A and B are shown apart, each in its own frame.
Chain A
Amino acid sequence: MDLISGLLRRPAAASVLSLIGVLAFYVLFAGADIGKLAGAASWVNYAARIGIVALPVGLLMISGEIDISIGAMIPAGAMTTAIISGYYEMPIVFGMIGAIAIGLIVGTINGILAVRTNVPTLIITLATLVGMQGVVLAGSKLLTGTASVPLTAPEWAKTLFGDLMFGGSHQVLILWWAGLAVVFWFFLHQSRFGNWIYAMGGDKESARNAGIPVDRMTILLFILTATAASFVGMCNAIQFNSAQVSGGMNDIFNIIVSVVVGGVLLTGGFGSVTGVFVGALTFAIVNKGIDFTAIDRNWSNLIIGIMLLAAVAMNESFRNLAMRAAPSKRRKAKPEGPDGSIVVSSDSITSKK
Protein backbone atom coordinates (compact mmCIF):
# COMPACT_ATOMS: atom_id res chain seq x y z
CA MET A 1 0.00 0.00 0.00
CA ASP A 2 2.82 2.36 0.88
CA LEU A 3 4.45 1.71 -2.45
CA ILE A 4 1.23 2.40 -4.33
CA SER A 5 0.43 5.61 -2.52
CA GLY A 6 4.02 6.71 -2.96
CA LEU A 7 3.73 6.15 -6.70
CA LEU A 8 0.41 7.95 -6.90
CA ARG A 9 2.01 11.08 -5.54
CA ARG A 10 4.46 11.30 -8.39
CA PRO A 11 3.61 13.82 -11.12
CA ALA A 12 3.56 11.05 -13.73
CA ALA A 13 0.91 9.00 -11.93
CA ALA A 14 -2.08 10.33 -13.85
CA SER A 15 -0.45 9.83 -17.23
CA VAL A 16 0.45 6.24 -16.44
CA LEU A 17 -3.10 5.56 -15.25
CA SER A 18 -4.50 7.24 -18.38
CA LEU A 19 -2.30 5.03 -20.52
CA ILE A 20 -3.45 1.90 -18.71
CA GLY A 21 -7.06 3.06 -18.88
CA VAL A 22 -6.96 3.72 -22.61
CA LEU A 23 -5.24 0.41 -23.33
CA ALA A 24 -7.73 -1.48 -21.17
CA PHE A 25 -10.63 0.25 -22.90
CA TYR A 26 -9.28 -0.53 -26.36
CA VAL A 27 -8.51 -4.15 -25.57
CA LEU A 28 -11.49 -5.08 -23.41
CA PHE A 29 -14.32 -3.13 -25.00
CA ALA A 30 -13.20 -2.22 -28.46
CA GLY A 31 -11.71 -5.49 -29.55
CA ALA A 32 -8.17 -4.27 -30.17
CA ASP A 33 -5.58 -6.95 -30.72
CA ILE A 34 -2.88 -6.00 -28.22
CA GLY A 35 -0.26 -7.97 -30.14
CA LYS A 36 -0.97 -6.12 -33.37
CA LEU A 37 -1.12 -2.80 -31.58
CA ALA A 38 2.22 -3.36 -29.87
CA GLY A 39 3.84 -4.34 -33.14
CA ALA A 40 2.41 -1.42 -35.11
CA ALA A 41 4.56 1.57 -35.90
CA SER A 42 1.96 4.24 -36.62
CA TRP A 43 1.40 5.29 -33.04
CA VAL A 44 5.04 5.11 -31.98
CA ASN A 45 6.02 7.27 -34.94
CA TYR A 46 3.36 9.77 -34.06
CA ALA A 47 4.33 9.73 -30.37
CA ALA A 48 7.91 10.52 -31.35
CA ARG A 49 6.81 13.41 -33.59
CA ILE A 50 4.82 15.13 -30.84
CA GLY A 51 6.97 13.78 -28.01
CA ILE A 52 10.18 15.50 -29.14
CA VAL A 53 8.46 18.88 -28.99
CA ALA A 54 6.44 17.98 -25.89
CA LEU A 55 9.63 17.52 -23.83
CA PRO A 56 10.83 21.15 -23.98
CA VAL A 57 7.25 22.44 -23.96
CA GLY A 58 6.75 20.49 -20.72
CA LEU A 59 9.79 22.16 -19.17
CA LEU A 60 8.64 25.56 -20.36
CA MET A 61 5.19 24.97 -18.86
CA ILE A 62 6.72 23.86 -15.57
CA SER A 63 8.58 27.18 -15.55
CA GLY A 64 5.21 28.90 -15.85
CA GLU A 65 5.21 29.94 -19.52
CA ILE A 66 3.69 28.54 -22.68
CA ASP A 67 4.74 28.42 -26.32
CA ILE A 68 2.18 27.88 -29.08
CA SER A 69 4.41 29.14 -31.86
CA ILE A 70 5.66 25.55 -32.11
CA GLY A 71 2.73 24.98 -34.48
CA ALA A 72 4.32 27.26 -37.05
CA MET A 73 7.85 26.15 -36.29
CA ILE A 74 7.37 22.56 -37.47
CA PRO A 75 6.47 23.60 -41.04
CA ALA A 76 8.99 26.44 -40.82
CA GLY A 77 11.78 23.94 -40.12
CA ALA A 78 10.58 21.67 -42.92
CA MET A 79 10.27 24.51 -45.45
CA THR A 80 13.64 25.99 -44.58
CA THR A 81 15.31 22.65 -45.17
CA ALA A 82 13.44 22.04 -48.42
CA ILE A 83 13.97 25.54 -49.83
CA ILE A 84 17.70 25.63 -49.07
CA SER A 85 18.58 22.08 -49.97
CA GLY A 86 15.77 21.26 -52.42
CA TYR A 87 14.96 24.39 -54.38
CA TYR A 88 18.45 25.91 -54.24
CA GLU A 89 20.10 22.48 -54.36
CA MET A 90 22.66 23.33 -51.69
CA PRO A 91 24.14 20.51 -49.59
CA ILE A 92 21.70 19.13 -47.02
CA VAL A 93 23.93 20.40 -44.20
CA PHE A 94 23.03 23.98 -45.10
CA GLY A 95 19.36 23.12 -45.05
CA MET A 96 19.76 21.53 -41.63
CA ILE A 97 21.70 24.49 -40.27
CA GLY A 98 19.01 26.77 -41.70
CA ALA A 99 16.22 24.82 -39.98
CA ILE A 100 17.98 24.85 -36.60
CA ALA A 101 18.88 28.53 -37.05
CA ILE A 102 15.28 29.54 -37.65
CA GLY A 103 14.37 27.71 -34.44
CA LEU A 104 17.10 29.55 -32.56
CA ILE A 105 16.02 32.92 -33.96
CA VAL A 106 12.30 32.58 -33.29
CA GLY A 107 12.96 31.06 -29.87
CA THR A 108 15.22 33.97 -28.97
CA ILE A 109 12.61 36.47 -30.14
CA ASN A 110 9.93 34.73 -28.05
CA GLY A 111 12.21 34.57 -25.04
CA ILE A 112 13.35 38.19 -25.20
CA LEU A 113 9.77 39.40 -25.66
CA ALA A 114 8.75 37.25 -22.70
CA VAL A 115 11.33 38.74 -20.33
CA ARG A 116 11.28 42.32 -21.62
CA THR A 117 7.52 42.89 -21.81
CA ASN A 118 4.60 42.17 -19.54
CA VAL A 119 2.61 40.57 -22.36
CA PRO A 120 1.51 37.03 -21.42
CA THR A 121 3.52 34.44 -23.31
CA LEU A 122 0.33 32.93 -24.71
CA ILE A 123 -0.19 36.18 -26.62
CA ILE A 124 3.48 36.63 -27.53
CA THR A 125 3.71 33.18 -29.02
CA LEU A 126 0.29 33.51 -30.64
CA ALA A 127 1.73 36.54 -32.40
CA THR A 128 4.88 34.72 -33.46
CA LEU A 129 2.76 31.72 -34.48
CA VAL A 130 0.66 33.79 -36.85
CA GLY A 131 3.66 35.86 -37.88
CA MET A 132 5.75 32.82 -38.76
CA GLN A 133 2.89 31.32 -40.75
CA GLY A 134 2.92 34.49 -42.81
CA VAL A 135 6.70 34.52 -43.16
CA VAL A 136 6.82 30.88 -44.23
CA LEU A 137 4.01 31.19 -46.79
CA ALA A 138 5.13 34.52 -48.22
CA GLY A 139 8.79 33.49 -48.15
CA SER A 140 8.08 30.25 -49.92
CA LYS A 141 5.96 31.97 -52.60
CA LEU A 142 8.54 34.68 -53.05
CA LEU A 143 11.53 32.37 -53.32
CA THR A 144 10.08 29.31 -55.03
CA GLY A 145 6.73 30.43 -56.38
CA THR A 146 4.98 27.49 -54.75
CA ALA A 147 3.87 26.34 -51.33
CA SER A 148 5.21 22.82 -51.70
CA VAL A 149 8.89 22.16 -52.29
CA PRO A 150 10.46 18.79 -53.14
CA LEU A 151 13.75 17.69 -51.63
CA THR A 152 16.09 14.80 -52.11
CA ALA A 153 18.24 14.12 -49.11
CA PRO A 154 21.44 12.06 -49.31
CA GLU A 155 21.56 8.61 -47.78
CA TRP A 156 23.42 9.54 -44.57
CA ALA A 157 20.96 12.30 -43.72
CA LYS A 158 18.08 9.91 -44.24
CA THR A 159 19.68 7.32 -42.02
CA LEU A 160 20.24 9.83 -39.25
CA PHE A 161 17.04 11.84 -39.35
CA GLY A 162 14.38 10.45 -41.60
CA ASP A 163 14.48 6.77 -42.26
CA LEU A 164 12.67 3.67 -41.20
CA MET A 165 14.74 1.52 -38.91
CA PHE A 166 15.87 -1.98 -39.86
CA GLY A 167 13.71 -1.98 -42.97
CA GLY A 168 10.62 -1.99 -40.77
CA SER A 169 8.11 0.80 -40.38
CA HIS A 170 9.45 2.46 -37.20
CA GLN A 171 11.02 5.85 -37.85
CA VAL A 172 14.48 6.75 -36.62
CA LEU A 173 12.82 9.74 -34.94
CA ILE A 174 11.80 7.36 -32.15
CA LEU A 175 15.44 6.98 -31.13
CA TRP A 176 15.84 10.75 -31.08
CA TRP A 177 12.78 11.00 -28.86
CA ALA A 178 14.06 8.39 -26.42
CA GLY A 179 17.54 9.94 -26.35
CA LEU A 180 16.21 13.45 -25.83
CA ALA A 181 13.90 12.19 -23.08
CA VAL A 182 16.95 10.93 -21.18
CA VAL A 183 18.75 14.24 -21.67
CA PHE A 184 15.73 16.25 -20.53
CA TRP A 185 15.18 13.91 -17.60
CA PHE A 186 18.73 14.55 -16.44
CA PHE A 187 18.37 18.28 -16.99
CA LEU A 188 15.11 18.60 -15.05
CA HIS A 189 15.42 16.01 -12.32
CA GLN A 190 19.13 15.61 -11.69
CA SER A 191 20.88 18.87 -12.49
CA ARG A 192 20.49 22.03 -10.45
CA PHE A 193 18.90 23.78 -13.42
CA GLY A 194 15.82 21.63 -12.92
CA ASN A 195 15.40 23.10 -9.47
CA TRP A 196 15.52 26.57 -11.00
CA ILE A 197 12.79 25.67 -13.48
CA TYR A 198 10.49 24.43 -10.72
CA ALA A 199 11.23 27.50 -8.61
CA MET A 200 10.47 29.80 -11.53
CA GLY A 201 7.12 28.09 -12.01
CA GLY A 202 6.40 28.23 -8.30
CA ASP A 203 7.09 31.92 -7.70
CA LYS A 204 9.02 33.93 -10.26
CA GLU A 205 9.73 36.85 -7.96
CA SER A 206 11.12 34.69 -5.16
CA ALA A 207 13.18 32.74 -7.67
CA ARG A 208 14.71 35.98 -8.88
CA ASN A 209 15.39 37.06 -5.30
CA ALA A 210 17.07 33.73 -4.62
CA GLY A 211 19.59 34.58 -7.31
CA ILE A 212 18.24 32.31 -10.04
CA PRO A 213 18.91 33.77 -13.51
CA VAL A 214 15.21 33.73 -14.39
CA ASP A 215 15.47 35.74 -17.61
CA ARG A 216 18.28 33.68 -19.07
CA MET A 217 16.53 30.41 -18.22
CA THR A 218 13.29 31.65 -19.80
CA ILE A 219 15.03 32.59 -23.03
CA LEU A 220 16.84 29.24 -23.06
CA LEU A 221 13.57 27.32 -22.66
CA PHE A 222 11.91 29.25 -25.49
CA ILE A 223 14.90 28.49 -27.70
CA LEU A 224 14.58 24.80 -26.83
CA THR A 225 10.88 24.62 -27.74
CA ALA A 226 11.24 26.46 -31.04
CA THR A 227 14.35 24.51 -32.02
CA ALA A 228 12.79 21.16 -31.12
CA ALA A 229 9.85 22.03 -33.36
CA SER A 230 12.01 23.11 -36.30
CA PHE A 231 14.10 19.96 -35.80
CA VAL A 232 11.00 17.77 -36.12
CA GLY A 233 10.04 19.71 -39.28
CA MET A 234 13.50 19.19 -40.70
CA CYS A 235 13.34 15.44 -40.04
CA ASN A 236 9.95 15.22 -41.72
CA ALA A 237 11.15 17.06 -44.80
CA ILE A 238 14.13 14.71 -45.06
CA GLN A 239 11.98 11.64 -44.66
CA PHE A 240 9.09 12.54 -46.95
CA ASN A 241 11.26 14.21 -49.63
CA SER A 242 9.14 17.33 -49.58
CA ALA A 243 7.74 20.08 -47.40
CA GLN A 244 4.43 21.93 -47.50
CA VAL A 245 3.52 25.28 -46.05
CA SER A 246 0.46 23.96 -44.24
CA GLY A 247 0.63 21.03 -41.87
CA GLY A 248 1.68 21.00 -38.25
CA MET A 249 -1.13 23.24 -37.01
CA ASN A 250 -2.93 20.43 -35.22
CA ASP A 251 0.29 19.72 -33.43
CA ILE A 252 -0.07 22.75 -31.15
CA PHE A 253 -3.04 21.33 -29.34
CA ASN A 254 -1.89 17.74 -29.57
CA ILE A 255 1.42 18.62 -27.96
CA ILE A 256 -0.09 20.75 -25.22
CA VAL A 257 -2.73 18.10 -24.50
CA SER A 258 -0.07 15.43 -24.15
CA VAL A 259 1.95 17.66 -21.82
CA VAL A 260 -1.10 18.31 -19.65
CA VAL A 261 -2.12 14.65 -19.65
CA GLY A 262 1.49 14.05 -18.64
CA GLY A 263 0.84 15.77 -15.33
CA VAL A 264 2.29 19.22 -15.95
CA LEU A 265 0.39 21.94 -14.14
CA LEU A 266 -0.83 24.66 -16.54
CA THR A 267 0.12 27.35 -14.05
CA GLY A 268 3.61 25.92 -13.62
CA GLY A 269 5.71 24.53 -10.82
CA PHE A 270 4.77 20.88 -11.13
CA GLY A 271 5.38 18.06 -13.60
CA SER A 272 7.96 15.54 -14.73
CA VAL A 273 9.74 14.34 -17.84
CA THR A 274 8.49 10.80 -17.31
CA GLY A 275 4.97 12.17 -17.25
CA VAL A 276 5.44 14.15 -20.44
CA PHE A 277 6.94 11.10 -22.13
CA VAL A 278 4.04 8.85 -21.12
CA GLY A 279 1.60 11.65 -21.98
CA ALA A 280 2.81 11.74 -25.58
CA LEU A 281 2.65 7.95 -25.73
CA THR A 282 -0.90 7.91 -24.39
CA PHE A 283 -2.05 10.62 -26.77
CA ALA A 284 -0.57 8.74 -29.72
CA ILE A 285 -2.21 5.48 -28.69
CA VAL A 286 -5.62 7.12 -28.47
CA ASN A 287 -5.18 8.91 -31.76
CA LYS A 288 -3.57 6.19 -33.88
CA GLY A 289 -4.34 3.06 -31.90
CA ILE A 290 -8.03 3.53 -32.59
CA ASP A 291 -7.42 2.12 -36.07
CA PHE A 292 -6.78 -1.24 -34.43
CA THR A 293 -10.14 -1.28 -32.70
CA ALA A 294 -13.71 -1.77 -33.88
CA ILE A 295 -14.40 1.90 -33.12
CA ASP A 296 -14.74 4.34 -36.00
CA ARG A 297 -11.66 6.59 -35.90
CA ASN A 298 -13.80 9.71 -35.96
CA TRP A 299 -14.55 9.07 -32.31
CA SER A 300 -10.91 9.46 -31.30
CA ASN A 301 -11.26 13.16 -30.49
CA LEU A 302 -14.08 12.41 -28.07
CA ILE A 303 -11.86 9.92 -26.28
CA ILE A 304 -9.07 12.49 -26.14
CA GLY A 305 -11.44 15.02 -24.63
CA ILE A 306 -12.60 12.60 -21.95
CA MET A 307 -9.06 11.48 -21.25
CA LEU A 308 -7.88 15.08 -20.89
CA LEU A 309 -10.54 15.82 -18.31
CA ALA A 310 -9.95 12.58 -16.43
CA ALA A 311 -6.19 13.05 -16.40
CA VAL A 312 -6.37 16.63 -15.17
CA ALA A 313 -8.87 15.67 -12.47
CA MET A 314 -6.56 12.87 -11.37
CA ASN A 315 -3.60 15.25 -11.41
CA GLU A 316 -5.42 17.65 -9.12
CA SER A 317 -6.28 15.02 -6.55
CA PHE A 318 -2.88 13.34 -6.64
CA ARG A 319 -1.19 16.67 -6.20
CA ASN A 320 -3.27 17.41 -3.14
CA LEU A 321 -2.38 13.99 -1.84
CA ALA A 322 1.29 14.72 -2.42
CA MET A 323 1.04 17.99 -0.58
CA ARG A 324 -0.76 16.61 2.40
CA ALA A 325 1.61 13.85 3.36
CA ALA A 326 5.11 12.60 2.90
CA PRO A 327 5.95 9.46 0.98
CA SER A 328 8.31 8.45 3.74
CA LYS A 329 7.82 5.93 6.49
CA ARG A 330 9.68 7.92 9.07
CA ARG A 331 6.71 10.11 9.71
CA LYS A 332 4.44 7.13 10.10
CA ALA A 333 6.52 5.73 12.91
CA LYS A 334 6.28 9.05 14.67
CA PRO A 335 2.72 9.92 15.56
CA GLU A 336 1.42 13.45 15.09
CA GLY A 337 1.79 15.77 18.01
CA PRO A 338 -1.39 16.53 19.94
CA ASP A 339 -1.27 20.11 18.73
CA GLY A 340 -2.74 19.18 15.42
CA SER A 341 -2.29 17.83 11.97
CA ILE A 342 -0.81 19.22 8.80
CA VAL A 343 -4.09 20.05 7.16
CA VAL A 344 -3.63 23.81 6.67
CA SER A 345 -2.19 22.95 3.26
CA SER A 346 -4.42 23.75 0.34
CA ASP A 347 -6.21 26.80 1.67
CA SER A 348 -2.97 28.52 2.57
CA ILE A 349 -1.92 28.16 -1.04
CA THR A 350 -5.12 29.28 -2.65
CA SER A 351 -5.19 32.30 -0.39
CA LYS A 352 -1.76 33.22 -1.65
CA LYS A 353 -2.96 33.23 -5.22
Chain B
Amino acid sequence: MAVQPASTEIATRTASIIQEFKALEGPLLPILHGVQGEFGYVPQEALRVIADELNLSRAEVHGVASFYHDYRKEPGGRHVLKVCQAEACQSMGSDATTARIKQLLGIDFHETAKDGSVTLEPVYCLGLCACSPSAMLDGEVIGRLDNEKIDEIVEAVRS
Protein backbone atom coordinates (compact mmCIF):
# COMPACT_ATOMS: atom_id res chain seq x y z
CA MET B 1 0.00 0.00 0.00
CA ALA B 2 1.23 3.46 -0.82
CA VAL B 3 2.76 5.36 2.06
CA GLN B 4 0.69 8.44 2.92
CA PRO B 5 2.70 11.64 2.60
CA ALA B 6 2.98 13.98 5.58
CA SER B 7 0.41 16.74 5.71
CA THR B 8 2.78 19.65 5.10
CA GLU B 9 4.01 17.87 2.02
CA ILE B 10 0.44 17.36 0.89
CA ALA B 11 -0.20 21.07 1.35
CA THR B 12 2.85 22.07 -0.68
CA ARG B 13 2.19 19.68 -3.51
CA THR B 14 -1.50 20.57 -3.56
CA ALA B 15 -0.64 24.27 -3.70
CA SER B 16 1.41 23.80 -6.84
CA ILE B 17 -1.39 21.80 -8.48
CA ILE B 18 -3.81 24.60 -7.62
CA GLN B 19 -1.55 27.18 -9.26
CA GLU B 20 -1.58 25.12 -12.43
CA PHE B 21 -5.37 25.13 -12.77
CA LYS B 22 -6.47 28.19 -10.82
CA ALA B 23 -6.89 30.39 -13.87
CA LEU B 24 -9.40 28.01 -15.47
CA GLU B 25 -13.07 28.79 -15.27
CA GLY B 26 -14.45 26.37 -12.68
CA PRO B 27 -11.06 25.10 -11.55
CA LEU B 28 -12.26 22.83 -8.73
CA LEU B 29 -12.74 19.58 -10.68
CA PRO B 30 -9.47 19.87 -12.64
CA ILE B 31 -7.67 20.54 -9.37
CA LEU B 32 -9.26 17.52 -7.69
CA HIS B 33 -8.24 15.42 -10.70
CA GLY B 34 -4.73 16.78 -10.41
CA VAL B 35 -4.60 15.98 -6.72
CA GLN B 36 -5.88 12.45 -7.26
CA GLY B 37 -3.30 12.03 -10.02
CA GLU B 38 -0.55 13.27 -7.75
CA PHE B 39 -1.35 11.26 -4.64
CA GLY B 40 -3.52 8.44 -5.97
CA TYR B 41 -6.31 9.70 -3.74
CA VAL B 42 -7.69 13.03 -2.48
CA PRO B 43 -6.26 13.63 0.99
CA GLN B 44 -8.52 15.52 3.42
CA GLU B 45 -5.71 18.01 4.07
CA ALA B 46 -5.66 18.83 0.36
CA LEU B 47 -9.32 19.83 0.53
CA ARG B 48 -8.57 22.44 3.17
CA VAL B 49 -5.80 23.92 1.03
CA ILE B 50 -8.05 24.00 -2.02
CA ALA B 51 -10.88 25.65 -0.09
CA ASP B 52 -8.56 28.36 1.17
CA GLU B 53 -6.98 29.03 -2.22
CA LEU B 54 -10.26 29.15 -4.14
CA ASN B 55 -12.07 31.17 -1.45
CA LEU B 56 -14.55 28.38 -0.94
CA SER B 57 -15.69 26.84 2.31
CA ARG B 58 -14.44 23.43 3.38
CA ALA B 59 -18.06 22.30 3.16
CA GLU B 60 -18.34 23.22 -0.50
CA VAL B 61 -15.14 21.44 -1.50
CA HIS B 62 -16.11 18.40 0.53
CA GLY B 63 -19.55 18.41 -1.05
CA VAL B 64 -18.06 18.29 -4.54
CA ALA B 65 -15.30 15.79 -3.75
CA SER B 66 -17.68 13.42 -1.98
CA PHE B 67 -20.21 13.58 -4.82
CA TYR B 68 -17.85 11.80 -7.20
CA HIS B 69 -16.99 8.25 -6.26
CA ASP B 70 -13.88 8.49 -8.41
CA TYR B 71 -12.23 10.78 -5.90
CA ARG B 72 -11.05 8.32 -3.29
CA LYS B 73 -10.51 9.25 0.33
CA GLU B 74 -7.77 6.73 0.99
CA PRO B 75 -4.89 5.56 -1.17
CA GLY B 76 -5.97 2.76 -3.52
CA GLY B 77 -3.99 -0.21 -4.74
CA ARG B 78 -1.30 0.01 -7.42
CA HIS B 79 -3.97 -0.92 -9.94
CA VAL B 80 -7.63 0.03 -9.97
CA LEU B 81 -10.10 -2.34 -11.58
CA LYS B 82 -13.61 -1.08 -12.22
CA VAL B 83 -16.23 -3.59 -13.28
CA CYS B 84 -19.39 -2.35 -14.90
CA GLN B 85 -22.61 -3.17 -13.04
CA ALA B 86 -25.04 -1.32 -15.26
CA GLU B 87 -28.02 -2.78 -17.09
CA ALA B 88 -26.44 -3.79 -20.41
CA CYS B 89 -23.55 -5.57 -18.72
CA GLN B 90 -25.92 -7.25 -16.27
CA SER B 91 -27.94 -8.60 -19.17
CA MET B 92 -24.74 -10.01 -20.64
CA GLY B 93 -23.78 -11.84 -17.47
CA SER B 94 -21.73 -9.34 -15.46
CA ASP B 95 -23.00 -10.89 -12.22
CA ALA B 96 -21.05 -14.03 -12.93
CA THR B 97 -17.94 -12.31 -14.23
CA THR B 98 -17.95 -9.98 -11.21
CA ALA B 99 -18.26 -12.90 -8.83
CA ARG B 100 -15.33 -14.59 -10.49
CA ILE B 101 -13.17 -11.49 -10.29
CA LYS B 102 -13.99 -11.04 -6.61
CA GLN B 103 -13.16 -14.64 -5.93
CA LEU B 104 -9.85 -14.60 -7.80
CA LEU B 105 -8.72 -11.33 -6.23
CA GLY B 106 -10.05 -12.30 -2.82
CA ILE B 107 -11.65 -8.89 -2.28
CA ASP B 108 -15.07 -7.28 -2.48
CA PHE B 109 -16.01 -3.97 -4.06
CA HIS B 110 -14.42 -0.91 -2.41
CA GLU B 111 -11.62 -3.10 -1.06
CA THR B 112 -7.93 -3.21 -1.74
CA ALA B 113 -5.96 -6.45 -1.81
CA LYS B 114 -3.80 -6.97 1.27
CA ASP B 115 -0.61 -6.77 -0.80
CA GLY B 116 -1.76 -3.39 -2.13
CA SER B 117 -1.81 -4.67 -5.69
CA VAL B 118 -5.34 -3.78 -6.70
CA THR B 119 -8.51 -1.96 -5.69
CA LEU B 120 -11.85 -3.26 -6.96
CA GLU B 121 -14.71 -0.91 -7.68
CA PRO B 122 -18.13 -1.00 -9.30
CA VAL B 123 -18.87 1.39 -12.13
CA TYR B 124 -22.19 2.22 -13.67
CA CYS B 125 -21.72 2.21 -17.45
CA LEU B 126 -18.50 2.79 -19.29
CA GLY B 127 -20.33 3.63 -22.51
CA LEU B 128 -19.16 0.32 -23.88
CA CYS B 129 -22.51 -1.45 -23.90
CA ALA B 130 -21.94 -2.95 -27.33
CA CYS B 131 -19.03 -4.91 -25.89
CA SER B 132 -20.70 -5.96 -22.60
CA PRO B 133 -19.74 -7.07 -20.07
CA SER B 134 -17.00 -4.56 -19.68
CA ALA B 135 -14.43 -3.33 -17.19
CA MET B 136 -11.70 -0.72 -16.88
CA LEU B 137 -8.20 -1.37 -15.63
CA ASP B 138 -6.13 1.68 -14.73
CA GLY B 139 -8.11 3.85 -17.12
CA GLU B 140 -8.08 1.43 -20.03
CA VAL B 141 -11.36 -0.16 -21.04
CA ILE B 142 -11.68 -3.88 -21.62
CA GLY B 143 -14.74 -5.24 -23.50
CA ARG B 144 -16.32 -8.67 -23.78
CA LEU B 145 -15.03 -9.95 -20.47
CA ASP B 146 -14.69 -13.69 -20.35
CA ASN B 147 -12.77 -16.13 -18.16
CA GLU B 148 -9.65 -15.83 -20.29
CA LYS B 149 -9.59 -12.05 -20.08
CA ILE B 150 -10.28 -12.18 -16.37
CA ASP B 151 -7.31 -14.45 -15.85
CA GLU B 152 -5.15 -12.04 -17.86
CA ILE B 153 -6.32 -9.12 -15.73
CA VAL B 154 -5.66 -10.97 -12.49
CA GLU B 155 -2.22 -11.94 -13.67
CA ALA B 156 -1.46 -8.37 -14.77
CA VAL B 157 -2.41 -6.81 -11.45
CA ARG B 158 -0.56 -9.43 -9.43
CA SER B 159 2.75 -9.06 -11.25
Answer whether A and B are interacting partners.
no
